[in-house]
């Protein structure tokens, strides 16, 4: 039977994943709360808000009724901002769900509970979700995927059968999939790289120095591995796509919202002004607070992360604080 896939959240990444799946021959239903996004996809075959000018195939449809999206598919991709994932999951009817696999694409940590996205999905959707949840991470800038630039991602799950299935439905000549059973390590890399992307953007605006950029990238990767070790993850996961791969892509791309946020700060804008200027959710802003709390819990020192926390939440001067103690 032909697989049917629903994408919950038709933003940049949700649209990119819909395109990959449609390219591979699957029927895709996108859910979004924004009626304009839904109308544009259905009537104009274009997501004018998030990917203007890109023609979407007719095999991609959209709805603002989350029940219709969920009942349409046996594979669900969640691509909503991390701080909205729990609320979105609570909109889904728990009765008679026929999903076989859930894939989380959000990179974040719940600020209130410190939970990773896979843990939130399991908690909200029940015991069955524990068996079928997967997380997608790695260097995957959505607009580049949509342009069919060669991309490889990391998908992690505790279930080997889930990994085999997702690799089969997602891979094509421009979208490659690597797999891991270290789901928390994979998610941790996807969260922390956003913090360091802000730092790189800030540094580039202040100093425009390759030496400084290299220092921050190295420090960021080291902090991922240090915290991951204390949390029981595998060290190797940080030297793959969901660690150094995602770190490089997010820190060196001007399309990255976290990088742009950092550059606005470096040009003298306040945190509030910079957040507004990006016009999208800046995951690294929230991740900085969450990771700082986790580092305290595990009694780990992360100097660069702490410096970014003081810049973003304590009003410290970016130029004098960014490099302090490195």
**Is 293 designated active site?**
no
- In whole angstroms, give the CA distance from residue 210 to residue 215: 9
What tokens were used for 155?
């998908």
Judge residue 131's burial from the number of C-beta atoms within 10 Å of its C-beta, 0-12 exposed, 13-18 middle, 19 or more buried: middle
Question: Among 29, 94, 193, 297, which one carries the catalytic annotation?
Answer: 193
Sign of CA dihedral 182, 127, 18, 28: positive
Residue with tokens 């990959």: 20
Catalytic center residues? 193
């Amino acid at each position: 039977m032909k697989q049917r896939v629903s994408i919950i959240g038709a933003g940049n990444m949700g649209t990119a994943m819909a395109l990959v799946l449609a390219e591979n021959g699957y029927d895709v239903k996108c859910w979004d709360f924004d009626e304009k996004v839904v109308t544009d996809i259905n009537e104009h075959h274009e997501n004018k808000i998030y990917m203007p000018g890109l023609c979407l195939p007719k095999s991609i449809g959209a709805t603002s009724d989350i029940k219709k999206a969920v009942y349409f598919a046996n594979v669900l991709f969640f691509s909503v901002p991390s701080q909205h994932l729990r609320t979105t999951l609570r909109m889904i009817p728990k009765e008679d769900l026929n999903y076989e696999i859930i894939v989380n694409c959000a990179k974040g940590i719940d600020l209130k509970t410190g939970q990773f996205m896979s843990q939130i999905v399991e908690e909200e959707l029940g015991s069955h979700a524990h068996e079928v949840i997967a997380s997608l991470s790695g260097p995957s800038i959505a607009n580049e995927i949509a342009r069919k630039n060669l991309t490889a991602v990391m998908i992690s799950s505790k279930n080997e059968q889930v990994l085999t299935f997702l690799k089969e439905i997602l891979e094509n000549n421009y979208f490659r999939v690597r797999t891991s059973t270290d789901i928390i390590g994979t998610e941790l890399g996807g969260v922390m790289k956003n913090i360091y992307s802000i730092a790189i953007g800030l540094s580039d605006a202040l100093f425009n120095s390759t030496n400084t950029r290299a220092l921050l990238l190295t420090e960021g990767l080291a902090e991922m591995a240090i915290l991951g070790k204390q949390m029981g993850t595998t060290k190797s996961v940080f030297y793959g796509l969901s660690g150094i791969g995602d770190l490089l892509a997010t820190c060196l791309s001007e399309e990255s919202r976290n990088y742009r946020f950092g550059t606005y700060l470096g040009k003298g804008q306040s945190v509030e002004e910079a957040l507004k200027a990006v016009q999208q959710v800046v995951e690294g802003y929230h991740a900085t607070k969450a990771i700082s709390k986790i580092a305290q819990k595990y009694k780990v020192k992360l100097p660069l992360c702490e410096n970014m926390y003081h810049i973003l939440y304590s009003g410290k001067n970016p130029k004098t604080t960014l490099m302090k103690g490195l």
